[in-house]
C-alpha cells in the first residue's frame, strides 16, 4: 500500500467518523458498496475521479484538495517545482518593502508568514499575500 493511499484512506475514515456516519451511509451517498468504502479507507483500492468528487461532496471536503490527496503525482505535474534560485520566495517577499507596506502587513503577520515559509511550499510573494488574506478573513469570521 502506498503512503498516498494510506493518507487518503485515513482522511476519509477520520471525516466519516467526525460526521458520525457509517461506511454504509457513505457508500449510499457516493453510489458505491460498503466493502468498497472499507477498501478505500484501508488503502486497498484507489478511487476513480468520480468517486473522489462524490466523497468530497458527501464528507465536506474541497474537491480539489481531496483529488490531489488521492492523486499526489497529478499535483506535481500541474505545479512542477521551480528550479532552485539563489534566493527563496520568502527572501524575495520579506525584501519587498513596497508590497509589505501596501498590504499593511504587521510584524506579527510577518512572523506568522515566516513560520509558513518554513514549510517550504510557498513559491512566490503572491502566495504569501494569498495566505495572509486567507488568515485575515478567517480571523474576521
98-130: pLDDT as tens digits: 989 999 999 999 999 888 888 777 888 888 888
Mean pLDDT of 55-83: 81
13-37: pLDDT as tens digits: 999 999 999 999 999 999 999 999 9
Instruction: Reply yes or no on domain 3-78 having CATH 1.10.260.40.
Output: yes
Residue 86's pLDDT is 44
Task: Return left, alpha or beta for 83; rule: phi > 0 is left, psi -120 to 50 is alpha, else beta.
Answer: beta
pLDDT at 141 over 90: no
Residue located via cell numbers 527572501: 91
Going by C-beta distance under 8 Å and a sequence separation of 6 or more, which residues neighbour residue 129?
A: 99, 103
Identify whether the C-beta of residue 63 lies closer than 8 Å to the C-beta of residue 53. Answer: yes
Model pTM? 0.54
Amino acid at each position: 500500500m502506498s503512503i498516498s493511499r494510506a493518507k487518503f484512506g485515513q482522511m476519509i475514515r477520520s471525516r466519516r467518523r467526525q460526521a458520525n456516519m457509517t461506511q454504509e451511509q457513505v457508500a449510499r451517498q457516493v453510489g458505491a458498496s460498503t466493502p468498497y468504502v472499507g477498501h478505500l479507507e484501508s488503502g486497498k483500492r484507489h478511487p476513480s475521479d468520480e468517486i473522489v468528487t462524490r466523497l468530497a461532496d458527501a464528507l465536506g471536503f474541497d474537491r480539489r484538495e481531496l483529488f490531489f490527496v488521492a492523486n499526489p503525482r497529478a499535483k506535481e505535474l500541474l505545479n512542477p517545482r521551480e528550479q532552485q534560485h539563489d534566493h527563496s520566495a520568502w527572501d524575495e517577499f520579506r525584501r519587498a518593502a513596497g508590497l509589505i507596506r501596501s498590504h499593511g502587513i504587521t510584524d506579527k503577520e510577518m512572523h506568522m508568514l515566516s513560520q509558513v515559509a518554513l514549510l517550504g511550499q510557498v513559491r512566490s510573494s503572491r502566495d504569501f499575500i494569498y495566505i495572509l488574506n486567507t488568515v485575515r478573513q478567517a480571523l474576521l469570521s
